[in-house]
Amino acid sequence: MLSVENLRSAYGRIEVLHGVTLHVDAGEIVTLIGANGAGKTTLMHAISGVQPITAGSVRFETQPIEQWSAHARVGAGISQVPEGRQVFDSLSVKDNLRLGAWSRRGGDLGQSLARVCRLFPMLDAIWEAPAGTLSGGQQQMLAIGRALMASPRLLLLDEPSMGLAPNLVDHVLAVIRSLKDEGLTILLVEQNAGAALAIADRAYVLETGRVALDGNATDIQNDRRVREAYLGI
């Protein structure tokens, strides 16, 4: 579904991604792990079209999309849940969700809203509340729900558990697993490497803008270097 080849990206003269290559097959959860500053968020932004690339290619379902705008990629079926949630503070929960569906042509909006409420029942009770008044956990649920409103085929999740209480982390990870069971393809960046590897099919380890290791998630989880560097074992 997604193929990234020799991708390079920079902020001004400082190159952050140095020829990253990876792929995500339909129906998979693939996770990216690595230290802060390894380039994980930059890579997610480059895939979604928020961050320009300086070399390499990005293909979505065999189509080259590296020249496409971010909103064109959303329309094609790629949605990103950004690090830090980035909800529209002054708008209600309902209106944040409705904005997530702006690129859709046709389809039952009410059915999509009902699906989000089924995944995150807590949102149903605060439907009219301004998003800026929500807790961090509620905002994270809203951010995921907003991305799902676009009916994506590929969901990019950047640090969905950041700042959440343990019980909410478990709920968010359970939702991610259920989305995969429904057939959604997911590329996941997650600071909790152990939890991410436990639900992923495959994994890539990024170090200073390069892929240092990749493979089956179980094999990556059992790799001595990963256990020492990222799992604290």
Between 1-5, 98-102, 104-108, 144-148, the lowest mean confidence (pLDDT) is in: 104-108
Report yes or no on 136 lying in a domain. no
Question: Which comes out higher in pLDDT, residue 133 or 162?
Answer: 133
CB atoms within 10 A of CB 41: 20
Q: Is the pLDDT of residue 155 over 70?
A: yes
Asked whether residue 119 is assigned to any structural domain, the reply reads no
Q: How confident is the model at residue 109 (pLDDT cuts 50, 70, 90)?
A: confident
pLDDT, greater one: 40 or 232: 40
Residue 114 covered by a domain: no
Whether 137 is covered by a domain: the verdict is no
Residue 106: pLDDT band (50, 70, 90) is low
Instruction: Tell me the percentage of the chain whose pLDDT exceeds 90.
Output: 76
Q: Could you tell me which of 210, 223, 180, 182 has the C-alpha nearest to residue 30?
A: 180
Q: Which domain holds residue 186?
A: 2-88+150-229
Tokens of 1: 């579904």
Q: Is 214 exposed, middle or buried (0-12, 13-18, 19+ CB in 10 A)?
A: middle
**Cα gap 39→206, rounded to integer Å:** 7
138 located within any domain? no
How does the average pLDDT of the chain come out, rounded?
A: 92
In a domain, 96, yes or no: no
Tokens of 213: 């290791």
**Residue 128 three-state SS:** coil
Q: Check whether 166 has a pLDDT greater than 90.
A: no
pLDDT per residue over 1-52, tens digit each? 999 999 999 999 999 999 999 999 999 999 999 998 999 999 999 999 999 9
Give whole-number Cα distances, 92 to 83, 88, 130, 214, in Å: 20, 8, 4, 41
What's the total number of domains in the chain?
1
Rg of the Cα atoms in the chain: 17
Mean pLDDT confidence for 178-187: 96
Residue 220 DSSP label: H
Mean pLDDT of 180-191: 94
Span 160-168, average pLDDT: 84
Report yes or no on 191 lying in a domain: yes
Helices (H) and strands (E) in the chain, counts: 10, 10
Q: Which residues contact 113 (CB under 8 A, 6 or more apart)?
A: 94, 97, 98, 149
Per-residue pLDDT, 161: 86
Q: Which residues contact 85 (CB under 8 A, 6 or more apart)?
A: 136, 139, 140, 142, 143
pLDDT above 80 (res 105) = no
Check residue 163 and give its pLDDT: 78
- Residues 140, 172: contact at Cβ < 8 Å? yes
Is residue 157 domain-resident? yes
What letter represents residue 218's amino acid?
A: T
Q: Span 163-184, mean pLDDT?
A: 89
Q: Provide the CATH number for the domain around residue 196.
A: 3.40.50.300
Q: Which residues pair with 7 in a beta bridge?
A: 20
